[in-house]
Structure 1
Amino acid sequence: MTRSAGSIDSEHRRVVLAAMIGTTIEWFDFFIYAICAGLVFAGQYFAALGEGALILSFATVGISFFFRPVGAVVAGHLGDRIGRRSVLILTLLLMGVSTVLIGLVPTTATIGVAAPVLLVLLRILQGLSAGGEWGGAALLAVEHAPADRRGLYGAFPQIGVPIGLLLANGAFALVAALTTAEQFLAWGWRIPFLAGVALIAVGLVIRTKVVESPVFEEVRRAEARSRVPVVVLLRHHWRLVLAGALVFAANNAVGYMTTGGYVQSYAVKSLHLDRSTVLAAVMVSALAWLASTLVGGLLSDRYGRIRVYRIGFAVQLAWMFPFFALVDTGDVGLLVLALVLFSVGLGFTYGPQAALYAELYPTAVRYSGAALSYALGAVLGGAFAPTIAEALQTSTGTVHSVGAYLAAVTVVGLVASSFVPDRRGRPLDAADDRPHEPGPASKTADP
């Protein structure tokens, strides 16, 4: 059915709002674990390891990343077979339930070794959900968008991540302000996890009202769906998957300095800054990340996805060592300044991502391709970035070794961007579903 441009815009506004809110809830749940890994879990669940407790606590943040590709493959298969909308509802439920259960896990002092085991198992469930969530939310937004505004509209599910970070840090800052240090460690930290009950309800109401992607519906009507999308993807598009993963890894490793809780932990435990103050500083930086992500998506519509990525990587590289120098002063004002400018490069290497990944792959394997590139990039980049940062700082005695590590990762992303084609504005419909690398069309390439 033909729609006017106005009706498309109106429908798409509802879709991107739903994608953004759902992604915000999903990542709020994911980030509160990472924050607690630095502030709570080391002492409550891994204290028996002594000095290694904090490193292992951060490692549990990374363990879940190894299950993201599994979640990406499963969600990608379902998303390319039954649709984006249904999978997004499933991933939201999985994330919400596992988050609430984390808030109920007794400490090691109460149930012994079962406590960290349960914690890790529930974190793995979060990883499965996160692996499948992003691809669906990104594609739902981009596949509804006008061709010349995919970068901007695709940036809306992207800003769910900084909003989730903002809310996660805000929740803990509020709890920390209303409790004593002893109360916070005893039970206060559980409140944001248990709040997931309400968030699940809100997210489900929103996502059940979202209409399916018109691009996917066209593929369904044309009976052009792949029987085993991931096999077709890896047979014809594995180079794109790998290159896309390396590009995202450079963003993800740097981003996990705050989203993974490393900066918060370092500022509180090594620089002895007030916990609430540090969380508030990260909240300010989340706003800057949100704004730069939207700007990055908008600019990618005008100047190209890869060009904006390269600008972002250049900013990341230039700011890396000044960032840690300012953080290391222990001055709150300089910490805020460091984090805000740090977020500019992050936004420019994050805002164009949804549109870039959507335009890389044919519709029949698009969910699988986008989700797997994203999940593998997260494994290579952010999975153990906080753990590596903590280990480097401990072994070298200086936070600048962390800056060197992140600078090297950024260079890898910059180089990898040369191997990712910029297909800004290409048709996303089924008629254009020819493989973008040598090989037969996906409709006839199924095993």
Structure 2
Amino acid sequence: MASSYIGSSLEMYDFLLYGTAAALVFPQLFFSGVDHGVGIALSFVTLAAGYVARPIGGVIFGHFGDRLGRKKMLIITMVIMGFVSIAVGLLPTAAQIGIWAPIALVTLRVIQGIAMGGEWAGATLMSMEHSSPKRKGFGASIAVSGGPSGAVLATLVLGAFAALPEEDFLAWGWRVPFLLSIVLLVVGLFLRAKVTESPDFEKAQAAAAANKNEGRTAAPLLQVLRRYPKEVGLSVVGGLAPLFMQSLLATFALSLAVASGHTRSDALLMLTIANAIHIFTIPATALLSDKIGRRPVMITGAILGVIGIWPMFALIQNGSTGLMLLGFIIGNPLIQALMYGPMGAWMGEMFSTKTRYTGLSLSYQMATTLGAGFAPLIATGLMAAGSGSTTLLAVFFCGLCVVSAIAFIIAKDRKAVES
């Protein structure tokens, strides 16, 4: 579980670093030849490019994870994620190598997206499949809770270096947080080298070896598409609302708070506190789903999303720092956690062991691309269309909650069936 936790922490740490740098640094250093607004848009396009690459990574690493084992794939994905992050920290700027700088940046982001595409499902399954049958939700959530942990770490590191004079921050300060990824990489690799292979995977391999008449089975992706198309579709739709909220608060909400009169340091501090609480509410909601079923917990989150998005925006835009914190808490530790905490187990339980890595990777990464990858661009566009009002954005999120709730209702609650 610890190795899975570190992996998802590194994933979110890298995501927040890149997202923040895309807004503050990359337009000036990698897209300096265009208008500043266009530079910001191009930086967010590179952010989205990594999300678009994730389903590809999910299919690739899911295939080999179902054939060769979860452990091997998790070591590979962590190495790639870590070294790409370090490479971004060492990347020359457009002033040094011209157009090759943004090309290299996009290339690294796509490579990182492919690795991240295989990381989440593998980490979630390793934690889930090492857990007892009555604690599958809690086990999967340990990996999931690494996300807010990485967010807390990234916010603290970024906050420290953002305090530098702007000239120093643009010259070298922004690079250091990326280079510090090596610490998480070393710790994660040490833990993953020691962890044993998933017992569920080993049982499935043993059963396949005993059945010599079974012959060569189709590729895991083909099995998933033939046997589980409904489950893939429901998983993708179910993930839209919580993943949109996660990305919204990690990127757009900070800009909203600052535009509403809060200082960037206050907004970062309040978001860090909310993320620290989020670390504990994710496994708490998953543990609750182990007791009463995934469906009622996740539907409750969707209902609260429809209700809570309105006061969340109002509180973030309020002049009080304490009320801004309450807005952040409503968003992630409450609304998002109720839907997201049980999600790893909810998705994973839809697929058989021999196709679970592929099914979970494909489903989750498609949901991530659609729900989280374009969230900053969608939020910015809806705010512009609403003349600076959050009303259209809130309505959009309510719609996502409704369609995700429908997916939760339609999908068979495997936990409820098992109990």
Where structure 2 has 5 or more consecutive residues not aligned to the other structure, the ranges are 210-215
Once the two structures are superposed, residues 190-210 of structure 1 have per-residue CA deviations (whole angstroms, 9 ceiling, x without a partner) of 111011223221111111101
Paired residue for 1:31, among 16, 19, 32? 16
Q: Cα distance 1:50–1:207, how it changes in 2: closer, same or farther (>3 A)?
A: same
Shift of 1:276: 2.5
Shift of 1:107: 2.4
Once the two structures are superposed, residues 151-207 of structure 1 have per-residue CA deviations (whole angstroms, 9 ceiling, x without a partner) of 112110010011011111111012223x12332233211111011223221111111
Paired residue for 1:389, among 350, 362, 379? 379
* Equivalent position SS for 2:119: helix
Q: In structure 2, what is the equivalent of residue 443 of structure 1?
A: none
Report matched runs for 1:317-332 at 5 Å. 317-332=306-321
Q: Cα distance 1:328–1:299, how it changes in 2: closer, same or farther (>3 A)?
A: same
Q: In structure 1, what is the equivalent of residue 299 of structure 2?
A: 310
Paired residue for 2:224, among 229, 233, 246? 233
Once the two structures are superposed, residues 242-264 of structure 1 have per-residue CA deviations (whole angstroms, 9 ceiling, x without a partner) of 110110111111110123x2122
Q: In structure 2, what is the equivalent of residue 12 of structure 1?
A: none
Shift of 1:330: 4.2
Q: In structure 1, what is the equivalent of residue 138 of structure 2?
A: 152
- Confirm or deny that 1:17 pairs with 2:8: no
Report matched runs for 1:423-434 at 5 Å. 423-424=414-415
Q: In structure 2, what is the equivalent of residue 298 of structure 1?
A: 287
Distance (Å, rounded) in 1 between the aligned partners of 2:271 and 2:96: 33
Once the two structures are superposed, residues 103-131 of structure 1 have per-residue CA deviations (whole angstroms, 9 ceiling, x without a partner) of 11222233322222211111111211111
Distance (Å, rounded) in 2 between the aligned partners of 1:281 and 1:188: 23
8 Å contact from structure 2 (residues 220, 358) kept in 1: yes
Report matched runs for 1:128-207 at 5 Å. 128-177=114-163, 179-207=164-192
8 Å contact from structure 2 (residues 6, 184) kept in 1: no
Q: In structure 2, what is the equivalent of residue 221 of structure 1?
A: 206
Report matched runs for 1:33-432 at 5 Å. 33-47=18-32, 48-177=34-163, 179-223=164-208, 226-259=217-250, 261-268=251-258, 270-271=259-260, 273-343=262-332, 344-400=334-390, 401-424=392-415
* Equivalent position SS for 1:145: coil
The range that moved more, 35-44 or 77-86, is: 35-44
Q: In structure 2, what is the equivalent of residue 434 of structure 1?
A: none
**TM-score, length-scaled by structure 2:** 0.93
Q: In structure 1, what is the equivalent of residue 213 of structure 2?
A: none
Give the letter aligned to residue 121 of structure 1. Answer: T
Q: Cα distance 1:186–1:267, how it changes in 2: closer, same or farther (>3 A)?
A: farther
Give the letter aligned to residue 81 of structure 1. Answer: R
8 Å contact from structure 1 (residues 150, 301) kept in 2: yes
Q: Cα distance 1:175–1:354, how it changes in 2: closer, same or farther (>3 A)?
A: same
Q: Cα distance 1:151–1:41, how it changes in 2: closer, same or farther (>3 A)?
A: same
Q: Cα distance 1:88–1:174, how it changes in 2: closer, same or farther (>3 A)?
A: same
The range that moved more, 290-299 or 231-240, is: 290-299
Give the letter aligned to residue 388 of structure 2. Answer: T
Count of residues in correspondence between the two structures: 409
Distance (Å, rounded) in 2 between the aligned partners of 1:301 and 1:35: 36
* Equivalent position SS for 2:188: helix
- RMSD in angstroms over aligned alpha carbons? 1.8
Q: Cα distance 1:335–1:110, how it changes in 2: closer, same or farther (>3 A)?
A: farther
Identity over aligned residues, as a percent? 35
Give the letter aligned to residue 323 of structure 1. Answer: M
Shift of 1:142: 1.1
* Equivalent position SS for 2:413: coil
8 Å contact from structure 1 (residues 176, 275) kept in 2: no
Distance (Å, rounded) in 1 between the aligned partners of 2:368 and 2:125: 18
**TM-score, length-scaled by structure 1:** 0.87
Q: Cα distance 1:278–1:107, how it changes in 2: closer, same or farther (>3 A)?
A: farther
8 Å contact from structure 1 (residues 306, 422) kept in 2: yes
Distance (Å, rounded) in 2 between the aligned partners of 1:55 and 1:169: 22
Distance (Å, rounded) in 2 between the aligned partners of 1:61 and 1:409: 22
8 Å contact from structure 1 (residues 40, 185) kept in 2: yes
Q: Cα distance 1:54–1:273, how it changes in 2: closer, same or farther (>3 A)?
A: farther
Give the letter aligned to residue 163 of structure 1. Answer: S
Give the letter aligned to residue 95 of structure 1. Answer: M
8 Å contact from structure 2 (residues 256, 317) kept in 1: no
Q: In structure 1, what is the equivalent of residue 212 of structure 2?
A: none
Give the letter aligned to residue 124 of structure 1. Answer: V
Once the two structures are superposed, residues 67-99 of structure 1 have per-residue CA deviations (whole angstroms, 9 ceiling, x without a partner) of 111100001001000000010000001101111
The range that moved more, 272-281 or 149-158, is: 272-281
Where structure 1 has 5 or more consecutive residues not aligned to the other structure, the ranges are 1-15, 428-447
Distance (Å, rounded) in 2 between the aligned partners of 1:149 and 1:337: 31
Q: Cα distance 1:379–1:300, how it changes in 2: closer, same or farther (>3 A)?
A: same
* Equivalent position SS for 2:399: helix
